[in-house]
Structure 1
């Protein structure tokens, strides 16, 4: 009996020691995971500094996949940040692009896979990602791969081109489905202040509903109980015929905008009151309006690269105009003019002075992240053009706003 307190105290100490050990283990695991992540990011050259970062089986496979791609970076090799000729993991070495794609699909989340694929085709120009039939048969279509197909389709034989078309069709379908929602929203008409019996969430009249139901406010609950909800009605736009002329630079840096311009033109085609033209250009001009309802076919015909003569495209677009004051000309380019800069500025000034709406868009894509000749952009803004970037949905809304006037 005399030993009972000592045994109890000893048991308490054992429990505390066990709890401390458990806590230490819980803290150690996240730390080890963090070290492992840094090891994957920094590569083999960091092993000395991150000695505790032992890679497990999955991480070894990830390391091998990352090294297959980024180990070819000459700058990193020169600085000794990564070593060449190494493959982590216990499995067979990654040799082909097909093997690598299968590995990253198994080892990484979707966002990481898309980044790796983008770096493979755009940074390291691994063309067999989009020119090898075995790769094309396995790969998941996305916009990065579509841009790569447009850049490399001249390298493909007819059989490979048929498989590449699958990527073009799948991505275009996704883009059109997303943009169609924005186009419908833009062209459904303006909301009026009169009530509607159709209870549509986007037309919910918050102010009138609150004002009409203030008598049902419960101070103790700080709530308004709605017995009668009100909704806006929509007036049908009075539509008069407008022209939208899209002049699209098909130089290599504009691939994303070319894709979205083709899709935007197809979505706007056939809308009441809008006649859409699609013209691509480099040093020559190609009018693709006759095929505007088939963006897949248009993209398969686009030839990215070459020089740029924006002034020539503006001159061609000017000839298409029927009613200057009911025309929108959207020039989609990085505005690095290879032709006569003065002629370009004079051409845009003439359009503005005759009452045409001129948009100079340095980007037309979902990011609307422009990269362009700022000096030229300023010169075009000075003569009255709108200069900037838009998403396809914003362009559709701009067109709808002017068509509805």
Structure 2
């Protein structure tokens, strides 16, 4: 595809005098884009259209077209926009569409929002999509999270010879006398290894309290996967609790994040104070506990009680994290006024990726 063709697809038919027309494949791409993006109300207000596509395409036909016409990263973006921007729920509630769909985090969020509308057969199909996305997230996040707990290499020599601890620079220096200029080779007689500092992990608790209101879908997913990744690490006891106006302890399901996510019910009100009170009741040793509240902090419960309980936790030596997002993008929308009140009484407020949370926990455990 040429640059002019790309600009024609981006700008729509009004740009054709400058960019030239489209060939047959380009016209089919234009029709697929138009089917989706001509729904945008702003285009009508500006009298602009994305292309010459027809609105008679079914969702199944459109999905087949985009899979034939676009690369994978574009397909994922189109599917995400269909679900999240234009609320085309057939993407995850029509069996024919669900059978063709490319698994992605955006579609997992859509499944969590709409699974209550699914019959058992459709729910079984949706579960396969959930499994695929969770498996990919676990594959990518587990090494990153575990790295925070494996210790770092020190400068002290080690007699334990492990490949991961091979000290390249000390080995070169120690064997320079065996360099052979004619062959441009260095013969290594005594390889050197560095010791690895081990974090002395005593019993700590990580208590994740996750808001399951509709806007927090991405954070719910990453909280479940993060808890699964951290489960069983030495010296760390992990709890996972979701809440809206009720509190649900899902710790028993942490080792199966797919089952856990299928139990989550997105939507409803928000009572953060009730969740924090429940989490406080789980603490065994306040000075060896980390309470993480993942929420947009639009509190529907008792704000005074919430601030009071967070203050008590902080004064007792508990680390309290108030996270407006826990996902890969860490771009939150939240009630800044309430978040500031929590910061004023000792909570750490912000947004984190799962890797950043793991680093925070590992630093406290060390």
**Global fold match (TM > 0.5):** yes
Larger displacement relative to structure 2 (132-141 or 187-196) = 187-196
Give the corresponding residue for 2:14: 45
Question: Distance in 1 between the 2:258 and 2:101 partners?
Answer: 19
How far apart are 1:379 and its partner, in Å? 2.1
Q: Are 1:258 and 2:224 matched, yes or no?
A: no
Give the corresponding residue for 1:387: 349
Give the corresponding residue for 1:79: 46
Give the corresponding residue for 1:111: 73
| Among candidates 257, 282, 287, match of residue 320 of structure 1 | 282
Give the corresponding residue for 1:363: 325
How far apart are 1:250 and its partner, in Å? 0.8
Question: Distance in 2 between the 1:372 and 1:68 partners?
Answer: 33
Contact 1:45 1:80 in 2 (8 A): no
Q: Are 1:59 and 2:21 matched, yes or no?
A: no
| Among candidates 277, 291, 297, match of residue 335 of structure 1 | 297
Contact 1:77 1:83 in 2 (8 A): no
Give the corresponding residue for 1:35: 4
Residues 206 and 106 (structure 1 numbering): CA distance in 2 closer, same or farther, change over 3 Å? Answer: same
Question: Distance in 2 between the 1:382 and 1:267 partners?
Answer: 31
How far apart are 1:284 and its partner, in Å? 1.6
Give the corresponding residue for 1:162: 124
Contact 2:241 2:248 in 1 (8 A): yes
Give the corresponding residue for 1:142: 104
Contact 1:62 1:107 in 2 (8 A): yes
Give the corresponding residue for 1:132: 94
- Indicate the SS of the match to 1:303: coil
Question: Distance in 1 between the 2:159 and 2:66 partners?
Answer: 53
Q: Deviation per CA, 1:353-394: give whole Å up to 9, x if none.
A: 000011111111122223322222222222221112222122
Question: Which structure has the larger Rg?
Answer: 1
| Structure 2 runs not aligned, ≥5 long | none
| Among candidates 133, 157, 179, match of residue 194 of structure 1 | 157
Contact 2:33 2:53 in 1 (8 A): no
How far apart are 1:317 and its partner, in Å? 0.6
| Structure 1 runs not aligned, ≥5 long | 1-29
- Indicate the SS of the match to 1:150: helix
- Indicate the SS of the match to 2:148: helix
How far apart are 1:272 and its partner, in Å? 2.2
**Matched length:** 362
TM-score by length of 1: 0.82
